[in-house]
Structure 1
Amino acid sequence: MENYFYAKGIVDDAVKVNTASMFLIDIALLWWRGRTTDKR
């Protein structure tokens, strides 16, 4: 993530936290979707 922040020029910690949390939420949703479609 630090490389992403550096490449985008993000230096504000609040923006870093928001970006990282959105990334983790997206990963969790993809995992959940894959898990629920496997059961069908």
Structure 2
Amino acid sequence: MTSKVVGRKMVRIPWKMQNGMINCWQTHRTVRNHGGSV
């Protein structure tokens, strides 16, 4: 895939979905930092 196609797909992602992915990643990172057993 060309970078142009990837750019278009990224722009089409709704902000709610993007924020949800960021929140999920932040939560996962926090759990790892605290040594959680998840």
Please classify the TM superposition score into its range, dividing by the shorter chain length: 0.5 to 0.7
- The runs of at least 4 consecutive aligned structure 1 residues that moved more than 4 Å come to none
TM-score scaled by length of structure 2 = 0.59
Unaligned residue ranges in structure 1 (runs of 5+) = 6-10
Identity %: 0
User: Which of the residues 17, 30, 36 maps onto 2:34?
Assistant: 36
Amino acid at match of 2:17: T
The aligned residue for residue 25 of structure 2 is 27
> Relative contact order (alpha carbons < 8 A, sep ≥ 6): 1 or 2 greater?
1
Which structure's residues are more often helix, by fraction? Answer: 1
TM-score scaled by length of structure 1 = 0.57
The number of residue pairs the alignment matches comes to 28
Computed over aligned residues only, the root mean square deviation of the Cα atoms, in angstroms, reads 2.5
